[in-house]
Amino acid sequence: MPVFHAHIPKGRFSREQKIAMGNALNRSLVVALGIPEGDRFIVISEHGDDELFIDPTFMEMERSVNAMIIEVQLGAHRPTSDKTALMAEICRQLGDAADIAPDDIFISLIPVPNENFSFGRGVAQLAGIPARW
């Protein structure tokens, strides 16, 4: 149930590339965290150049016009090692699938306790059980 929300520059990526990005983000969960492939809840938003402001060089990066911000709602129980593994894998997968440069990928992981997710039917399916994902 990590939920992704990617904010990308408008008109820079084709339909095929956006679908590839969705697949890549899902794949990063499977590879880095062993999360089931079916756990796919991903949102992409496009923003015009008067709606998306990303510094081109902050923290010694060389960002291009393709730079993007990716938010991930991640289980609050995850240790640092899981977080850094996921960040690295997101970059790898987005590079492989959609040719996005690693410098162009800003990531924030928003901690959300597992019991705060409902997969449907108004039920907190993961409440009261030990965290697997």
Handedness of CA 79, 85, 87, 93 (dihedral sign): negative
CB 38 within 8 A of CB 15: no
Q: Is 36 in the site for a copy of itself (CB under 8 A)?
A: yes
Q: Is 111 in the site for a copy of itself (CB under 8 A)?
A: yes
Q: Is 129 in the site for a copy of itself (CB under 8 A)?
A: no
Q: Is 102 in the site for a copy of itself (CB under 8 A)?
A: yes
Pairing label, strands 3-9, 105-112: unpaired
Q: Is 30 in the site for a copy of itself (CB under 8 A)?
A: no
DSSP state of 74: E
Structure-block tokens of residue 132: 């697997």
Q: Is 42 in the site for a copy of itself (CB under 8 A)?
A: yes
Q: Is 47 in the site for a copy of itself (CB under 8 A)?
A: yes
Footprint on residues 73-92 left by a copy of itself (CB under 8 A): 73-74, 80, 83-84, 87-92
Q: Is 120 in the site for a copy of itself (CB under 8 A)?
A: yes
Residue 65: enclosing H or E segment and its boundaries?
Answer: none
Among 11, 57, 129, 130, binds a copy of itself (CB under 8 A): 57
Structure-block tokens of residue 4: 């992704």
CB atoms within 10 A of CB 97: 18
CB 28 within 8 A of CB 93: yes
Q: Is 107 in the site for a copy of itself (CB under 8 A)?
A: yes
DSSP state of 12: S
Residues that bind a copy of itself (CB under 8 A): 1, 3, 5, 7, 15, 18-19, 22, 26, 36, 38-47, 50-55, 57-59, 61, 63, 69, 71, 73-74, 80, 83-84, 87-92, 102-113, 115-125, 127-128
